[in-house]
Chains A and B, each alone.
Chain A
Amino acid sequence: MSTTQPTTTIGKAANFAETRVGASVLVREFGRKIFPSHWSFMLGEVALYSFVIVILSGTFLTFFFTPAMGEMHYEGPWAPLRGVEISEAYNSTLAISFEIRGGLFIRQMHHWGALLFVAALSIHMLRVFFTGAFRRPRELNWIVGVLLVIMGMAAGFTGYSLPDDLLSGNGLRIIDGIVKSLPLVGTYLSFFIFGGEFPGTDIVARLYSLHIMIVPALLIALIGIHLVFVVVHKHTQYPGAGNTEKNVVGEPVLPTFAAKGGGFFFLIFGLLALISALFTINPIWNYGPYDPSPVSAGTQPDWYIGWADGFLRIVPGWLEFYIAGWPISLNINSAVIVMGGVFGAMFIYPFFESWLLKDKREHHILDRPRNNPTRTAIGVAGIIFYCNMWAAASGDIIAVFFQMSLNDMIYIFRIVFFLGPIIGYMITKRMCIGLQRKDREIALHGRETANIIRLPHGEFLERHEALPPHKLWKLTAFESPTYTPAEPNAEGKITGLEKFRAKLSKFFFEDRVAPVTKQELEASHHDHDSVESNTHNQIGH
């Protein structure tokens, strides 16, 4: 109960909101949230904004799309299809493209926005992984993030299957094949999904319900949880002078970050509008109506499903075999195993790392990727594993473009499938360790100035310049997890699991480069003050 009543318009409005919904609590909690400023922290925002744009443009599309598979003859303006028998869904998509004012632009914006949404999700996720932002207390938010990626893929797939053109039908046929390849239940499941034999007349309406209701509702719910977690956990920050585990250095949401974020939304909107106005995406009028017999050359899914398609392209056919007359179609359903494996690994990684390091503490300061070489190397191995399958989905186009044999492309992808991640792991780990050693060298002996001096007795030396304190902080003040040997549990026994953990821990940290200690730093400064030339000679050799 305030004793003074507000007199200004804004004051009255604020009082109105405060006395009814307690707005000051919201403003205090959310408005004062601090966002550190770094370009890589804005990638998640890009995903959020493109999602908003996709929702807006998608709503427009629902006004004109007919989710039905009744047959009719096309009588619209696109000459190469006039008189051809097509479905209502395809007809309405053609009408959106050619007859609804602005329809093609909005359709392209919806599709480009969806591609950007999943792309932004992906690089946001890579940023979180490589900087260790998934560590306690943010493991659950990492899981929400992985679920967002899965739902993003589901939203995309259910969406691009809707137009009922040749390309979308080919995509559905692959899903039908995967479903049918599941042991025992496959055929029943396929008939259940398609309402009878593929393709049936139900699937577009069913996908439509999923695409405009269930999947977006789940996405919105997950995004809500994700953002609440971001507020609850506070933002992470990069190591730097003044950044600690107990503070967040940055700008408050109100007014700075909100203004900047609002502007950023319009920049993303503008960029997507520009792309949609200039570049065709999914020209459904080219593909013609779906018919189970034709398949076009260069039939691929949208990029985020590409890795699964690529796996199907390189998996050898002999993986299908019979046991007592029952077919085991590992040549198809192994795609499900691989996808499950990739997402499963993503789900458990935060818990795995915390178990391995015996580290249950909270982490708010991010790792520089080089300072955790094994994690970074695992991440790169994962990227290579993914990208190889992804590239395999476009093997035919690569073959034509570079005048290669399609068969050779498949052999190459098969080899890289197994060797690529291992080689990537080894190279990345060595690179990280090399960078860490360079950091040590610079921290202890300063920056090379390329300034050569000659001493009176004829010796040549390069002058090294001490780093400014804030740069030195970045190179020296970081946490460096180390090997933890097997420890007995409460009963005094070392379990087999604990021994395994110790072995893994050794694998993770056997070639760890220790960060510069205070003593080392002081010793090096001492050397520099007294016998500068000597130190350099020693280090140089």
Chain B
Amino acid sequence: MKLLADRRRHPMALVVLLLVGLLMTGGAYALFTQTSSAKADTASASDVDEGKKLFAANCATCHGLSGEGSKAGPGLIGVGAAAVDFQVGTGRMPLQSNGPQARVKEPQFDEEQTAQLAAYVASLGPGPAVPEDENLDASKGDPAAGGSLFRTNCAMCHNVVGAGGALTRGKYAPNLADVSEKHLYEAMQTGPQNMPIFNDANLTPDDKRDVIAYVKEVSDTPSPGGFKLGSLGPVAEGLFIWFFGLSAVIGLTVWLSSRAK
């Protein structure tokens, strides 16, 4: 201990102390988040009670104390666990601010809390459940069949490779590149925001898996032709040639004509 006491006024002591503190908090955080995600897999009936408490504290203002809905938000009876898992899991709910559409943000609840909320809402009435892993495995899907389905059903809003697009009055279809397989499936299943519902009679679970396979294939495959310019099509290409191409050309002309003097 004498060694420590001698050095406690060393200029680096503060730095070392900070480092130790940060490491401990970070380590503890990592430990706890790991344990909570492990718990999420084993959701039990008691989750419904926990979920009810969370719901009352965070959701009831708009969706009503027992999910019956109000002027400010729709009723949630019968929307199922899948809808909750999507809306809360992507951070769209609780709503950050009023606007044409709920925006994605950092999820406010961890996976365990999300599962508890989902369990509670599912208990209000029968609705689609969180999809099985079997249906989410992109490697088992057929990207080509999914591509055809995507072009017919999704591309008019989300663009052919899911780069996103505009809807009316400030609403929009988001970019799908970084959306998880589970959330893609749940979005098709529950039709969040302005999206139509693609139920199992419309797109079977296998079809949905094909669509997921297509989205993952086109967003994960490196672009064969070089930088993608956002996959936004001719607008991005036109901007590029005018701003980059033509600027470079004018730079060359100025360079060439300045030498002549």
Residues of A within 8 A of B (CB): 37-43, 46, 79-84, 97-98, 104, 108, 112, 115-116, 119-120, 123, 166-167, 251, 256, 260, 263-264, 267-268, 271, 275, 277-283, 285-288, 291, 293-303, 306, 393-397, 399-400, 403-408
- A298 touching B238 by the CB < 8 A rule? no
Nearest-Cβ distance from residue B191 to partner chain A, whole angstroms: 17
- The A-contacting residues of B in range 124-176, CB under 8 angstroms, are 143-148, 151-152, 155-161, 163-170, 172-173
Beyond A80-B217, A166-B151, whether A285 also contacts B224 by CB under 8 A is yes
Q: Contact at A298–B159, with CB atoms within 8 Å? A: yes
Residues of B near A123 (CB, < 8 A) are 246
Task: Indicate if the CB atoms of A278 and B226 lie closer than 8 Å.
Answer: yes
Is B32 an interface residue when CB atoms closer than 8 A count as contact? no
A43 CB, nearest partner CB in chain B, Å: 7
Q: Which of B37-45, B197-205, B253-261 contacts A (4 or more CB under 8 A)?
A: B253-261
Selected contact of B245 from candidates A82, A83, A116, CB within 8 Å: A116
16 A-B contact pairs sorted by A residue (CB < 8 Å): A39-B258, A42-B257, A84-B144, A115-B241, A256-B260, A279-B227, A280-B227, A286-B160, A288-B151, A306-B238, A397-B166, A399-B170, A400-B165, A405-B169, A406-B166, A406-B168
Asked if B11 is at the interface (CB within 8 A of a chain A CB), the reply is no
B233 and A167 form a contact (CB under 8 A) = yes
Give the distance in Å from the alpha carbon of A393 to the alpha carbon of B232 in the complex: 13
Q: A288-B151, A405-B169 are in contact. Are A297 and B159 (CB under 8 A)?
A: yes
B110 at the binding interface (Cβ < 8 Å): no
- B72 at interface, CB cutoff 8 A: no
User: Does B252 sit at the interface, judged by CB under 8 A?
Assistant: yes
What A residues does B163 contact at CB under 8 A?
A: 297-298
Say which size band chain B's interface belongs to: 35 or more
**Given that A296-B151, A396-B166, A397-B235 are known contacts, is A280 also in contact with B245, CB under 8 Å in the complex?**
no
In the complex, which of the residues B221, B224, B244, B250 contacts A39, with contact meaning CB atoms closer than 8 Å?
A: B250
Evaluate contact between A400 and B172: CB separation under 8 angstroms: yes
Are B223 and A283 touching (Cβ within 8 A)? yes
A297, B164: Cβ atoms closer than 8 Å? yes
Q: A112-B245, A119-B245 are in contact. Are A79 and B169 (CB under 8 A)?
A: no
In angstroms, how far is the closest chain B Cβ from the Cβ of A204?
Answer: 19
What 0/1 pattern do residues 229 to 255 of B give for CB contact below 8 A with A? 101111111101110111011101110
Chain A residues whose C-beta falls within 8 Å of the C-beta of B27 in the assembled complex: none
CA A405 – CA B168 in complex, angstroms? 7
A264→B256 contact, CB < 8 A: yes
Residues of chain A with a CB closer than 8 A to B240's CB: 275, 279
Nearest chain A CB to B261's CB is how many angstroms away?
7
Q: Is B8 an interface residue (CB 8 A)?
A: no
**Contact assessment for B237 and A115 in the assembled complex, using a CB-CB cutoff below 8 Å:** yes
Q: Which residues of A contact B105 (CB under 8 A)?
A: none
Expressed in whole angstroms, the Cα–Cα distance for A396 and B257 within the complex equals 41
Max chain B C-beta neighbours (<10 A), residue from A82, A271, A302, A397: A397
A301 to chain B, nearest CB (A): 6
| Contact, CB under 8 Å: B256 / A39 | yes
Contacting pair B160 A303 (CB below 8 A)? no
B256, A42: Cβ atoms closer than 8 Å: yes
In the complex, which residue of chain A has the Cβ closest to the Cβ of B172? A400
Minimum CB–CB distance from A78 to chain B (whole Å) comes to: 8
Which one of A43, A119, A306 lies within 8 Å of B241 (CB-CB)?
A119
Query: Which residues from B are CB-within-8-Å of A294?
Result: 151-152, 155-156
Q: Does B214 contact A (CB under 8 A)?
A: yes
Main SS at interface, chain A? helix
Chain B contacts of A80 at CB under 8 A? 143-144, 146-147, 214, 217-218
B26 at the A/B interface (Cβ < 8 Å)? no
B218 CB contacts on chain A under 8 angstroms: 80, 286
Cβ-defined contact, B156 with A296, below 8 A: yes
- A77 to B, closest residue via Cβ: B224
Asked if B225 and A303 sit within 8 Å, CB to CB, the answer is: no
A390 to B12, CA, bound (A): 61
Asked, given contacts A288-B151, A298-B233, whether A120 binds B246 with beta carbons under 8 Å apart, the answer is yes
Residue of B nearest to A47 (CB): B249
Q: A84-B147, A405-B170 are in contact. Are A301 and B234 (CB under 8 A)?
A: yes
For the complex with contacts A80-B218, A297-B158, A303-B241, 11 further pairs of A-B residues with Cβ separation under 8 Å are A38-B257, A43-B250, A84-B148, A108-B225, A166-B160, A271-B245, A282-B234, A283-B225, A298-B159, A298-B235, A300-B235
How near does chain B come to A274, taking the closest CB pair, in angstroms?
A: 9
Q: How far is the CA of A38 from the CA of B246 in the complex (A)?
A: 17
A399 to B237, CA, bound (A): 18
B113 CB, nearest partner CB in chain A, Å: 29
A295 touches B252 (CB 8 A): no
A296 neighbours in B (Cβ, 8 Å) = 151, 155-156, 159-160, 165, 233
Q: Are B229 and A279 in contact (CB under 8 A)?
A: yes
Q: How far is the CB of B46 from chain A (nearest CB, A)?
A: 42
The yes or no answer to B21 lying at the interface (CB within 8 A) is no
Please, what's the 1-or-0 string for B93-136, where 1 marks a CB less than 8 Å from any CB in chain A?
A: 00000001000000000000000000000000000000000000
Could you tell me if A406 and B223 are in contact, using CB atoms closer than 8 angstroms? no
Q: Of B160, B228, B252, which one neighbours A268 at CB under 8 angstroms?
A: B252
Taking a contact as CB atoms under 8 Å apart, the answer to whether B172 and A43 are in contact is no
Chain A residues with Cβ below 8 Å from B214 are 80
A280 touches B225 (CB 8 A): yes
Question: Chain A residues near B234 (CB, 8 Å)?
Answer: 167, 282, 300-303, 306
Contacts of A116 in B (CB 8 A): 241, 245-246, 249
Query: How far is B242's CA from A479's CA once the two chains are assembled, in angstroms?
Result: 34
**Residue pair A297, B157 in contact (C-beta under 8 Å):** yes
> In the complex, how many angstroms separate the beta carbon of B105 from the nearest chain A beta carbon?
14
B173 in contact with A264 (CB, 8 Å): no
Q: Which residues of B contact A286 (CB under 8 A)?
A: 160-161, 218, 231
> Is A82 touching B252 in the complex (CB atoms < 8 A)?
no
B173–A297 touching, CB < 8 Å? yes
Most A Cβ at <10 Å: residue of B167, B235, B237, B246: B235
Bound Cα distance A120, B250 (Å): 10
Residues of B within 8 A of A39 (CB): 250, 253-254, 256-258
CA distance A275 to B243 in the complex (A): 13
Contact A405 B151 (CB under 8 A): no
